[in-house]
Amino acid sequence: MKRTAALFDEIVFPGGKTKAFTLSYDDGTIHDRHLLDIVNRYGVRGTFNLNSGFLDLVDVKDGPLGSFDLSKISTDEVIPLYTGHEVAGHGLNHASPTDIGSSAFMYETIEDKANLEKITGKLVRGYAYPFGNYDDKAKDILRYAGYHYARTVEVTHDFSLPRDFLEWKATCHHNDPQLMELAENFCKDDFMAMNKQLFYVWGHSYEFALDDSWTKIEELCKYMHDHGENVWFATNIEIYDYITAYRNLEYSAEGNMIYNPAGTEISIRRGGKLYSIPPLKTVIID
Ligand SMILES: [Zn+2]
């Protein structure tokens, strides 16, 4: 078959949106309450990485500037607090995946998963590496335990989709001096728009309390809400599932037939035109 241009397909997210935005917050301290207040007000969504072994823990730290409350949320709060968001694993007791030996890491991982699934009544399939530490062995253990993605603490400063979901890197931390610049660039529809697919921000909610910087996250969420008409606000696992289904589309050799083996509709853009491929259906593109 002769073509006049190279084949190039682009992912289109649910609702016909070409971009996705997500948050990832670790440790489940009591400051998640205030963070969720802000996030929910602007329709932003994200993933909260909990240590089930620390739930209900009272933890007040004394420092040179006075005491600081790092207590964790209670078990009973998990469902009401995180409704509409994703609860993901962060290890039973926040042990470092690369510094405790395989069997202890396996226990940290699978025990945490079982606890969080019991508490939420849902499958827990996402994870964030405690201390950001990971290696090939940790990735294997997570894969065997049924985790499909794991967030690192490395950042990209770009808006690309991850190649290896067990080494998922965020765009930036919320303390990044470029945070708002990145948000503005992401929302802008200029000639670079096709490289703007995913804006991913991570952090800890206690940092807002410690630095008295709640306005920072409020400003970000408000900006995304006001400028995100072309942005899908989603949790990490929703983004993982959609991208994976997109990558699992099966193409004919000439690229004009596409089969969708997934259970959800997947949309693509080719040559400026939008095509939706229903679950378990083949679509022919002229
Ligand atoms: Zn942590």
Q: What is the pLDDT of residues 202-260, one digit of tens each?
A: 999 999 999 999 999 999 999 999 999 999 999 999 999 999 999 999 999 999 999 99
Find the 97 Cα to ligand 1 centroid distance in Å: 12
- pLDDT digit string, tens, across residues 192-215: 777 899 999 999 999 999 999 999
- C-alpha 59 – ligand 1 centre gap (Å): 15
- Judged against a pLDDT cut of 90, whether residue 262 lies above it is answered with yes
Residue-level pLDDT at 95? 97
- Which residue, among 90, 72, 175, has the nearest Cα to 132 in the 3D structure? 90
Which ranges of 170-255 would DSSP assign to H, the alpha helix?
179-187, 206-210, 214-227, 236-247
Average pLDDT over residues 58-67: 86
Q: How far is the CA of 129 from the centre of ligand 1 (A)?
A: 7
Question: Is the model's pLDDT at 10 over the cut of 80?
Answer: yes
**How high is the pLDDT of residue 55?**
98
- 147-176 residue pLDDT tens: 999 999 999 999 999 999 999 999 999 999
What local confidence, expressed as pLDDT, does residue 3 receive? 78
Query: Residue 130: phi, psi to the nearest 5?
Result: -60, 135
The rounded Cα 150 to chain-centroid distance in angstroms is 9
Tell me the C-alpha distance between 103 and 121, whole Å: 26
- Percentage of the chain modeled with pLDDT above 90: 91
The per-residue pLDDT of the chain, averaged, comes to 96
CATH number of 18-244: 3.20.20.370
Mean pLDDT to the nearest integer, 259-264: 97
CA of 221 to the centre of ligand 1 (A): 22
Report the alpha-carbon distance of residue 245 to residue 180 in Å, rounded: 31
**Ligand 1 center–CA 16 separation, angstroms:** 34
Instruction: Provide the whole-model pTM.
Output: 0.96
Task: Please give the Cα distance from 130 to 125 (Å, whole number).
Answer: 16
Q: Residue 25 C-alpha to ligand 1 middle, in angstroms? A: 9
Provide the pLDDT for residue 249: 98
* pLDDT score for 4: 78
Q: Which two tokens stand for residue 18?
A: 């070409």
Tokens of 189: 């529809």
Per mean pLDDT, which range of 33-42, 56-65, 132-141, 224-233 is the poorest?
56-65
pLDDT exceeds cutoff 80 at 69: yes
How close is the Cα of 96 to the center of ligand 1, in Å? 10
| Cα 27 to ligand 1 centre (Å) | 5
End-to-end CA distance of the chain: give it in Å, rounded: 12
pLDDT at residue 166, rounded to an integer: 98
Cα of 61 from ligand 1 centre, angstroms: 16
240 residue type, one letter? Y
282-284/257-259 β-pairing: antiparallel
Three-state DSSP class for 17?
strand
pLDDT at 7 over 90: no
Say what percent of the chain tops pLDDT 70: 99
Distance 181 CA to ligand 1 centre (A): 26
How far apart are the CA of 26 and the centre of ligand 1, in A? 5
Residue 72 has what DSSP assignment? Answer: B
Report pLDDT digits (tens) over 87-98. Answer: 999 999 999 999
DSSP run (H or E) holding 87:
strand 86-89
pLDDT at 121: 98
Q: Using an 8 Å Cβ cutoff, are 246 and 12 in contact?
A: no
Ligand 1 midpoint to CA 47 (Å): 13
Among 34, 237, 254, 261, CA closest to 146: 237
Look up residue 38 and give its two tokens. 């802000």
Place of tokens 């703007």: 196
